[in-house]
Amino acid sequence: MPETTRTKTNLHALDIRSPHDCGVVIFGASGDLTKRKLLPAFYNLFVDGILPKHFIIIGFARSEMTNEVFQELARQAINEFSRRPIDQGKWNEFASRLYYHRGHYDEPDSFHSLQKLQSERHNNFRSGKNWLYYLATPPSAYGDIGACLKQTGLAEDHDAGEHWSRLVVEKPIGRDLDSATKLNRSLAASFDESQTYRIDHYLGKETVQNILVMRFANGIFEPLWNHNHIDHVQITVSETGGLDRRGGYYEDIGALRDMVQNHLLQLLCLTAMEPPHNLGADAIRDEKRQILEALRPISSEQTNQYAVRGQYGEGLVKGSAVIGYRAAEKVAEESQTETFVALKCYIDNWRWSGVPFYLRTGKRLPKQCAEISIFFRGVPPILFNANPSKPVAPNVLSIRIQPNEGIALEIGSKVPGPHVAVRPVSLDFGYSSVYPAGTPEAYERLLLDVMLGDATLFMRRDEVEAAWSFITPILDGWSKQPINDFPNYMAGSWGPATADELLFRDGRRWRRL
């Protein structure tokens, strides 16, 4: 039965989709992700009236805590991180659905007692027999939790598929192809792929979903969307922030694994993929996988030609002095971890033959933004473009993922006056001016989709592994070369000079953001 009802009252969409009664178990209930993202997202879904009537959350973690303490922790988290302030009436109702269960991730007994709590709550609150298990723990605990859920019989769909059991996992899914394959295999030992939802929160952002709408719901772009008309594509995700107490995690990961393997490659896939034959989860994910498989491999010997890495030193970001990466908590004094990556990639298929895709991301850059810029080919060097010393700027279509979400098209215009001069101007669509009600947070959309069983915005196992196949040789190439120039960019700058050279060599430059 479809879990969708049509209504005109929703400001965000024509379809309000409402899941069946269900419960959620959050493993890692006292952690950062639970506080910053999960509890605020569930609260906002609750306030929007989207959660099912019978719904509970059970927080599962190792620390000792009563239900009341967990509810208080949730209240503080929502106060601090929710896009909406707390409404006392709504909060009381929401809080009454929060429970805490202390347990160990590798002890079957802890899962037997969880099961007992689930069925007690099920009887009292009729939250249904549908359960979403969210692993907000380090990946090292995934295998144990999966195995215990399976052993307790909690991992299976029941009643001939009428009642579901779903698993949500966060990145990082592995640290290279080998470990990702092993991790996926261990998840698959407990949950079927159709029950497994791998989160990439970029896919939950409204503007990221709009990439497909822009491409396939408009007639004017797709005929131009190929190597005949597009010169190159730039994808930038820049952050002003540094580590934010995440040194322990980041030091072992670096920007290539943290951002490129997932978020940037997903943006590239949506920009480059062929039209899917329908909007179903598998049709879309098949097309994305095709792009990942068509990425021209960068062998470890070619790494320096196609990839640049950087690490920030101290500097000024938005007018404030900040420390360098190596001075941050839980970071080695001689750390070799990259906080900046720039890549030049090619997609070896018919549509994108010869079109470079330049990707860059970094921490402590001058601006917080994520943008995809499509640079169209220039006009012939005649008429307005006849003077080689003053070339007419090419048309650029930029998709602003965040902030100031929107789409802009730069076109040449005549500067008023007796002389003929061409200047680029921007035709600009801003989300907030057209949709002032604002957009939900990525996690709200993604959690709702898991409850609805819609896997479109989640990474399938083969996609994750195809992305690692591309990334792993770059990691290998880097691991063979000692670094002697870190830190090689100042906090508050646009990364190392070699990132600019990557484009200069091709007669191009990074777009000013």
Q: List residues with catalytic annotation.
A: 263
Name every residue whose Cβ is closer than 8 Å to that of residue 182 and which is 6 or more positions away in sequence.
174
Is residue 444 a contact point for ligand BG6 (CB under 6 A)?
no
The dihedrals phi and psi of 68, each to the nearest 5 degrees, come to -65, -40
Q: Is the dihedral of CA 464, 465, 469, 473 positive or negative?
A: positive
Contact code string over 5-44 relative to ligand BG6, x by CB under 6 A: ----------------------------------------
- Strand pairing category for 406-414 and 396-402: antiparallel
**Element of type H or E holding 108:** helix 108-125
Q: How far is the CB of 77 from ligand BG6 (least distance, A)?
A: 17
Of the two residues 239 and 405, which places its CB atom closer to ligand BG6 in the complex?
239
Tell me which residue of 16, 19, 60 sits closest to 38, measured CA to CA.
60
The closest alpha carbon to 185, from 146, 153, 155, belongs to 146
CB of 362 to ligand BG6, least distance (A): 11
Indicate the residue among 141 and 369 with the shorter CB distance to ligand BG6. Answer: 369
| Number of residues counted as binding ligand BG6 (CB under 6 A) | 2
> How far is residue 394's CA from residue 392's CA, in Å, rounded to a whole number?
6
Residue pair 429/406 in contact (Cβ under 8 Å)? The answer is yes
Nearest residue (CB) to ligand BG6, 215 versus 246? 246
Q: Is-contact 129 122, C-beta < 8 A?
A: yes
DSSP code string of 448-505 = HHHHHT--TTS--HHHHHHHHHHHHHHHHHHHTS---S-S-EETTSSS-HHHHHHHHT
Q: What is the CA radius of gyration of the chain?
A: 24
Instruction: Rank residues 233 and 255 by Cβ distance to ligand BG6 and give the closer one.
Output: 255
Task: Considering the complex, state which of residue 258 and residue 410 has its C-beta at the smaller distance from ligand BG6.
Answer: 258
Instruction: Give the nearer residue to ligand BG6 in terms of CB position, either 20 or 326.
Output: 326
Q: Quick one: 239 or 454, whose CB is closer to ligand BG6?
A: 239
| Count, residues in the chain | 513
Could you give phi then psi for residue 60, rounded to 5 degrees? -125, 125
At residue 447, the 3 state secondary structure works out as helix
Whole-number minimum distance, CB 175 to ligand BG6, in Å? 13
Q: How far is the CB of 401 from ligand BG6 (least distance, A)?
A: 8
**Measured between alpha carbons, how far is 117 from 122 in angstroms, rounded to an integer?**
8
As measured in angstroms, the least distance from the Cβ of 385 to ligand BG6 is 37
Q: Edge-to-edge strand order for the sheet containing 22-27?
A: 98-102, 55-61, 22-27, 131-135, 165-169, 196-198
Binding of ligand BG6 by 239 (CB under 6 A): yes
The reply on whether position 371 binds ligand BG6 by CB under 6 A is no
Which of 21, 206, 231, 258 contacts ligand BG6 by CB under 6 A? Answer: 258
Q: Which is nearer to ligand BG6, 245 or 423 (CB)?
A: 245
Q: For the chain, report the end-to-end CA distance as a whole number of angstroms.
A: 47
Residue keyed to tokens 């083969």:
462
Element (H, E) at 407: strand 406-414
Q: 355 with 231: CB under 8 angstroms?
A: yes
Q: Which residues are bridge partners to 317 per DSSP?
A: 320
d(CA 318, CA 364): 10
User: Which residues make up the interface to ligand BG6 (CB under 6 A)?
Assistant: 239, 258
